[in-house]
Chains A and B, each alone.
Chain A
Amino acid sequence: GAVVSQHPSWVICKSGTSVKIECRSLDFQATTMFWYRQFPKQSLMLMATSNEGSKATYEQGVEKDKFLINHASLTLSTLTVTSAHPEDSSFYICSARQGASEDTQYFGPGTRLTVL
């Protein structure tokens, strides 16, 4: 149990285009989902916290208008990178938590974004 999927697993796009990444909890309902970015050989950096039915909470320094997050249901959150640039190239990973009082986060397999 506790499986989180991401789609796509990798994507290559041209500079200036937008890319949408999906994060799904497959066998549980996730009240909260988190989005992380990871550069090569570095740690995971939290970008934003996504709660079903409400606006996402962004970490300091993360542009809300560039990284659009939608948590439309208890099993799906999406991250849209708008007007992508080469510096946005990274490994994007989501995680999901089952309940508000739960600590355990289950991570997705990640999405490799390359912006040309």
Chain B
Amino acid sequence: QQQVKQSPQSLIVQKGGISIINCAYENTAFDYFPWYQQFPGKGPALLIAIRPDVSEKKEGRFTISFNKSAKQFSLHIMDSQPGDSATYFCAASKNTGRRALTFGSGTRLQVQP
């Protein structure tokens, strides 16, 4: 059972454009939603994270929008740059137990110059 569904699988954006990646979750016990960026051959790096009590969080060019009633959250990358070309993963975890992350399937972003 895939608890976090991510789309699109791949995305091509022109330099300066907005990249939008969407995720939907099923488990209402999830209360922490991070986004990770991964370059080939490297480990994931935390970009930004949000909790359900906030509908939007912005850090630099990265913004998370969160819709609790729809159980959806999305990552917006403003003014996308070629250096943003990477794979992006959304994830979710519960606030109890091991707090293990459940990852989405990933989105390969390519920003064309």
Contact = CB atoms under 8 A, between A and B. Distances in A.
Interface string B38-49: 000111111001
Contacts of B46: 104-107
Contacts, number: 57
A40 to B, nearest CB: 10
Contacts of A6: 43
A44 B93 contact: no
Nearest to A9: B41
Interface in A19-51: 32, 34, 41-46, 49
Interface string B63-95: 000000000000000000000000001000101
Given A103-B49, A104-B49, A49 B100 contact: yes
Nearest to A97: B99
Contacts of A91: 41
B98 interface: yes
Contacts of B101: 34, 44, 46, 95, 105
A104 B93 CA distance: 10
Contacts of A44: 44, 89, 101, 103
A81 interface: no
Given A95-B101, A103-B34, 14 more contacts: A32-B98, A42-B105, A42-B106, A43-B89, A49-B100, A57-B98, A102-B99, A103-B95, A105-B46, A107-B44, A107-B45, A107-B46, A110-B42, A110-B43
Interface of A: 4, 6, 32, 34, 41-46, 49, 57, 91, 93, 95, 97, 102-110, 112
